[in-house]
Chains A and B, each alone.
Chain A
């Protein structure tokens, strides 16, 4: 398995070959073509090179690229397997960093397909999309183009956990992602099915396809989603597939096992889809988007979109009875499903069984697009037989006549236990092999995209011989995600939560650009114009802070500071709005107000009050020239200053341990003094830093102390 000789046989270019080269024809492309001709003559003649000769070269390589990848022999630098949410971001990052990149997918039409819910973002997930965006990722921009309803979640809570979410038109999302990829010069979108990763001298050398083609490369990023040995369950029926009606990547999974990778099995599910004309909309409660909608992307100025509502209903005693009576048909409860499902996204069967005391659960009806009839029944994920699904669906208010376009199902799939990955998402034992998305044990489009970006960037940096990019836990949710993946044990698909981030107040959706744009620019992921935009925003906010610190306003003595209590949001309220501007009568007044003795307050301190805001200042005649979004940033920074500074100090202390590297050779030592569990865990994970070691479950603070002693002894002895 480690090394394959070239086949030697001359293959005929196949009819079914789709290699689509994107981007404008450029002088670079012509140069590339002549390189390819030479390469085709001297190298293994796989169909990939044939295609190069007959088609175009890896187009659009820019000057910087040429120097980064001197041997322009017609191979790809990076092949990305799978064009889901991880694969698209990975490929885009590679192209932006100047690599000749191929994006391999079964069907070009299924690019960035939203296999499950028709939404992007949400709590913590929305944060990651903002971070991706600041690092040049595509998800935010594509969501802005494909979104049909935009909401800021958690508005009733503190701004650190405000999270954007958008309902999307699924078909439009695929189209817009395809367009975004097409606009990247030099990306080859290839249709085909990966069968095998070929190694030469222990390193990734090519991706072999099941039709015999072979894509040579120096690094590969594998993003197969649920297709990796996927098995679908609908009631008693069980068949291979990554999505309903599609195939399963069985050979690829076996290949990974052959490379010595330890695999596990996970499960996820999707709810039924209903026909929109069969629903009694009058009986449902609407949930509408924010007006005006706030864009996801830092680079979108304003959204012109006619928003559509989602609809809310609830299960009832009848629903639960039907489910209970049919549990024996459930593959989950009959033991046919072995893989672990996510507890945060339970099937309706799970909800009814595990929370038997609850007599009702929420159900959200979400349109899958503007012009399609499918309605996604969020909250009713199920793998019960179709007729049972139809039965319990129809028991719900508003769904009495519902027609099911597609039944819900559960899918089991293989994943690679992620402790075998580096913090760059490279497989520790296979140089050049990167994994991203569900194969690493995550769920969610956003988690997948974030990993795709990390894998893409680091694959490119590896090919170019540059330092890897590891985002810190205090720098980005993406950093938390990757660190959690490769450091912790996972019993269910990993999803991001804000509580996973110990430095949560630092990692806000409003400051993702501030945190990451400079990194993105330094790497070459965003343009100078983009980073200048972020710098301008930051300096405008800081200037405004200085200005407001010099302005004095007068607060009547009767309105004691701290008297104002935030309004508690109504339970389950969809449109709660605690943004401050509406916090009753303005608490401040001018000195000229003769009513009461007033006391002086810096305008900035007024903003810092629980009931303060830029809007409240404006009512006193202190107008801010900042655009509303920037004013929002200023409010957050001001109001949470004390807490933010505290977290910064904690993060700085933690960073000391994060920067203490543990030499790989340390794991060959007997490491006396560690508990047996810690010793086993450390040998398995081989953490890169002391900080990481401390986060491994079973490694106690005293184990960390012992490890420090050993690391020190080792350093002295070495």
Chain B
């Protein structure tokens, strides 16, 4: 089934200097030519060239085969194209036009509707001044003909150019469809395709660096070396199973066990960066807890540098969760202020406390705000009990007042719980920098040195963790004297999990390896 021609605004909406509209598919050049008035037709343009000119309203549909449909009977009065129309077209794309059943398998309907919506514009009407980039198949992002029209920023210009392209026969692209085509054309492998999605969604610089590294295939390269070692080991083990009389010897020789152990260590090293890499990529949640009136909301505002939460002297002021994003050492942190964990409040507060507990469960780090100016209360002890098993950052608040909590009291409450304590004054802003630093440390930025090749994608991290565990089982089994086919089973499991990331299958060359290394066969 040949692809049709798709178009979409490739840049984010909002105020910006430039906006790019991208067209891809066999009719990309024709559609672009229909909306482009420049020195020469784009159809004659060389690959990878830029052309200056004007985007104009097209005369008729030229790409995608089907001409624009006539106005439906209940068609609205023609009006100028605008952002609303495109947005409406997008909504219809999802829902189907009201009162009209979109025929199944026909995805061009929305584009055609977008065209009819602009039917009042005279052909040749100038829409925007543009620079057009021409990429020819297969040397383009999608490996199809691609044209990118850079117009002026802001939603309106790009939306009108897009509407013009749709009028010229292109179809509005679905979310991610350009990358899907790149993947389907073999331009990107699965890991790279996922990296592109990450790149687009990267909200911090570190996340961006990570995605760029993955796009370059750094992870795949590192994994290839690990997989190679495991395949060699598997060949050694399999040879002893299948050619017992030729190869002989003990089940799994020590040097094979060692090389598997080394492969496992290599995976472990990749994964060690992974928690932080994931933090960078996905962001983490940090929930504030503490006794009522310990100053949670004040600290929340102090961390954000913004009066986001309502602060009063009244305990229980914060009823619901209040959350806000902030960047800590390159990681996106979602800071959640809560109603605390107090029991026995009114009904609304009780609901808030329940939500606070739920938030606690999904937090990477809990920020426990302690009122250092007052002696620890029974409630502090109850909170401490709830923090077992979590990573805790203790903010000893109200450092501007004389301390009533002895050093070590917190430590004994949090016995066995990984934590750091920092004295702060939310009121004055003292210690906030130190608190942020301690948060970064708890989140694991200590390892942030080499993000290149780190495993930042949850799917990858899961697969590699499974691979690592399988290799660990393989060495364990081999050392315990388990028979070769059991060790081989684990090695194959490990390889197949690595293959989920690199896209290679397990047994491609197993026999080649065996035959090249052992003289087998009576």
> 5 new A-B pairs (CB below 8 Å) besides A154-B241, A351-B519, A670-B1?
A157-B485, A345-B522, A572-B245, A697-B508, A702-B190
Shortest CB–CB separation between residue A348 and chain B, in angstroms? 10
CB-contact partner of B184 in A362, A502, A562, A672, under 8 A: A672
Q: Indicate whether A505 reaches chain B with its CB closer than 8 angstroms.
A: yes
Chain B residues near A504: list those with CB within 8 A.
485, 488-489
Q: Give B187's nearest chain A residue, CB to CB.
A: A673
> Separation in Å of the A103 CB from the closest CB of chain B?
31
Q: Is the CB of A343 within 8 A of B481?
A: no
Say whether A378 contacts B522, CB under 8 Å. yes
Return the contact of A572 from the options B248, B488, B492 (Cβ within 8 A): B248
Asked if B87 is at the interface (CB within 8 A of a chain A CB), the reply is no
The answer to the question of B60 belonging to the interface, with a C-beta cut-off of 8 Å to chain A, is no
Q: Is the CB of B480 within 8 A of A701?
A: no
Q: Which residues of B contact A (CB under 8 A)?
A: 1-3, 104-105, 181, 183-186, 189-190, 238, 240-246, 248-251, 480-486, 488-489, 492, 499, 503-508, 510-511, 514-515, 519-522
Shortest Cβ distance from A363 into B: residue: B522
Chain A residues within 8 Å of B507, by CB: 499, 502
**Chain A interface residues (CB < 8 Å from chain B):** 117, 123-124, 153-154, 156-158, 160-161, 342-346, 351, 354-355, 358, 361-362, 364, 378-379, 497-499, 502, 504-505, 562, 565-566, 568-569, 571-572, 610, 640, 643, 646-647, 669-670, 672-675, 694-695, 697, 700-702, 705-706, 709-710, 713-714, 716-717
A572 CA to B245 CA, complexed, in Å: 6
A selection of 21 A-B contacts at a CB cut-off of 8 Å is: A160-B485, A161-B483, A344-B521, A346-B521, A351-B519, A355-B519, A362-B245, A498-B242, A499-B238, A499-B510, A499-B514, A568-B250, A569-B250, A571-B250, A643-B486, A670-B1, A672-B184, A673-B181, A701-B505, A705-B183, A716-B104
Contact A568 B481 (CB under 8 A): yes
Q: Bound state CA distance, A247 and B306, in angstroms?
A: 96
Known: A344-B515, A362-B246. A713 touches B485 (CB 8 A): no
Q: Are B481 and A566 in contact (CB under 8 A)?
A: yes
User: How far does the Cβ of B492 sit from chain A's closest Cβ, in whole Å?
Assistant: 7
Residues of A within 8 A of B514 (CB): 499
Select one of A362, A647, A697, A705 contacting B489, CB under 8 A: A647
**A161-B241, A161-B483, A672-B1 known; A342 and B186 CB under 8 Å?**
no
Query: What is the minimal beta-carbon distance from B260 to any residue of chain A, in angstroms?
Result: 17
What residues on B are CB-neighbors of A695 within 8 Å? 505
Cα–Cα distance between A156 and B521 once the two chains are bound (Å): 19
- Give the Cβ gap from B224 to chain A, nearest Cβ, in Å: 14
Shortest C-beta distance, B511 to chain A (Å), equals 7
Nearest 7 CB-CB pairings of A with B: A158-B483, A673-B184, A345-B521, A355-B519, A572-B248, A566-B481, A343-B515
CA distance A505 to B514 in the complex (A): 21
* A390: min CB distance to chain B, Å: 20
Which of chain A's residues have a CB closer than 8 A to the CB of B505?
A: 694-695, 700-701
Task: Identify the closest chain B residue to A347 (Cβ).
Answer: B521
**In angstroms, how far is the closest chain A Cβ from the Cβ of B385?**
35
- Once the chains bind, are A153 and B245 in contact (CB under 8 Å)? yes
Beta-carbon contact of B488 and A702 below 8 Å: no
State whether B2 touches A670 (Cβ < 8 A).
yes
- Could you say which residues of chain B place their CB within 8 Å of the CB of A709? 184
Whether the pair A701, B245 counts as a contact (CB closer than 8 A) is no
Which residue of B1, B189, B190, B483 is within 8 Å of A669 (Cβ)?
A: B1
A670-B104 Cα distance, complex, nearest whole Å? 21
Contact, CB under 8 Å: B183 / A702? yes
A678 to chain B: closest CB distance in Å? 9
Name the one of A157, A697, A701 contacting B241, with C-beta atoms under 8 angstroms: A157
Partner of B522, one of A355, A379, A705: A379
User: How distant is the Cα of A515 from the Cα of B280 in the complex, in angstroms?
Assistant: 50
Q: Are B3 and A672 in contact (CB under 8 A)?
A: yes
The residue from A154, A565, A568 contacting B244, defined by CB atoms under 8 A apart:
A154
Q: Of A343, A672, A717, which one neighbours B105 at CB under 8 angstroms?
A: A717
CB-CB < 8 A to A343: which residues of B?
511, 515, 520-521
Interfacial chain B residues near A697, Cβ < 8 Å: 508
Contact A153–B244 (Cβ < 8 Å): yes
Q: How far is the CB of B77 from chain A (nearest CB, A)?
A: 37
Query: Which residues of chain B come closer than 8 Å to A361, judged between CB atoms?
Result: 519
Are the CB atoms of A499 and B519 closer together than 8 Å? Answer: no
Central interface residue in A498, A505, A646, A702, by most chain B CB within 10 Å: A702
Which A residues are CB-close (under 8 A) to B250? 568-569, 571
With the chains together, A640 CA to B483 CA distance in Å?
11
A497-B511 in contact (CB<8A): yes
**A497: nearest chain-B partner, CB-CB:** B242
Contacts A342-B521, A571-B248, A672-B185: A499 and B488 contacting too (C-beta < 8 A)? yes
In the complex formed, the residue of A with least CB distance to B500 is A701
Shortest CB-to-CB span from A653 to chain B, Å, is 11
Q: Find out whether the CB atom of B241 lies under 8 angstroms from the CB atom of A562.
A: no
Is B244 in contact with A123, judged by CB distance below 8 angstroms? yes
- Kindly report which residue of chain B lies nearest to residue A710, judged by CB atoms: B1
Please state if B1 and A610 are interface contacts (CB–CB under 8 Å).
Answer: no
Contact B1 A499 (CB under 8 A): no
Whole-angstrom distance between the alpha carbons of A505 and B483 in the complex? 12
Give the shortest distance, in Å, between B317 (CB) and chain A (any CB).
52
Known A-B contacts A379-B522, A571-B249; A499 and B511 likewise in contact (beta carbons under 8 Å): yes
Question: Once the chains are docked, how many angstroms separate the CA of A505 from the CA of B504?
Answer: 23
Nearest Cβ distance between residue A160 and chain B, in whole angstroms?
Answer: 5
Q: Knowing A670-B2, A672-B185, A673-B184 touch, does A643 contact B489 (C-beta < 8 A)? A: yes
Residues of B within 8 A of A124 (CB): 242
B185/A673 in contact, CB under 8 A: yes
Q: CA–CA, A568 to B253, complex, Å?
A: 11
List chain A residues, Cβ under 8 A from B1.
669-670, 672, 710, 713-714, 717
Q: Which residues of A contact B245 (CB under 8 A)?
A: 153, 362, 572
A343 to B, closest residue via Cβ: B515
- Nearest B residue to A567 via CB reads B481
Complex contacts, B481 vs chain A, CB 8 Å? 565-566, 568, 610
Q: Report B186 CB to chain A, min CB distance, Å.
A: 5
Given contacts A562-B480, A572-B248, A716-B105, contact A672 B2 (CB under 8 A): yes
CA distance A571 to B245 in the complex (A): 9
From A694, which residue of chain B is reached at the shortest CB distance? B505
Bound form: Cα–Cα A568–B416 in Å: 44
The CA-CA distance from A213 to B521 in the complex, in Å, is 43
Cβ of A274 to closest chain B Cβ, rounded Å: 15
User: Do A499 and B251 have beta carbons less than 8 Å apart?
Assistant: no
Could you tell me the distance between the alpha carbons of A362 and B514 in the complex, rounded to whole angstroms? 18
When the two chains form their complex, are residues B510 and A358 in contact, meaning their CB atoms are under 8 A apart? no
B419 CB to closest chain A CB, in angstroms? 37
Please give, as numbers and ranges, the residues of chain A lying within 8 Å of B499 by CB-CB distance.
Answer: 701
Distance A342 CA – B521 CA, assembled complex (angstroms): 9
Q: Which of chain B's residues has its CB closest to A564's CB?
A: B481
Contacts of A158 in B (CB 8 A): 482-486
CA distance A157 to B510 in the complex (A): 20
Partner of A700, one of B104, B242, B503: B503
Tell me if A123 and B489 are in contact (CB < 8 A). no
Q: Give min CB distance, A249 to chain B, whole Å.
A: 27
CA distance A705 to B184 in the complex (A): 8
Residues of chain B with a CB closer than 8 A to A673's CB: 181, 184-186
- Which of the listed residues B246, B503, B519 has the most CB atoms from chain A within 10 Å of its own CB? B519
Pair A157/B521 contact, Cβ less than 8 Å: no
Using CB atoms, name the residue of chain B closest to A716: B105
Min CB distance A315 to B, Å, is 11
Inter-chain CA distance A565–B250, complex, in Å, is 13
Query: Across the interface, which residues of A come within 8 angstroms of B242, CB to CB?
Result: 123-124, 161, 497-499
CA distance A647 to B488 in the complex (A): 13
Docked CA distance A124–B242 (Å): 8
If the complex has contacts A362-B246, A502-B492, are A157 and B483 also in contact, measured as CB distance less than 8 A?
yes
For B503, give its contact among A342, A701, A717 (CB under 8 Å).
Answer: A701
Which A residues are in CB contact (< 8 Å) with B488? Answer: 499, 504
CA distance A354 to B515 in the complex (A): 10
Residue of A nearest to B520 (CB): A344
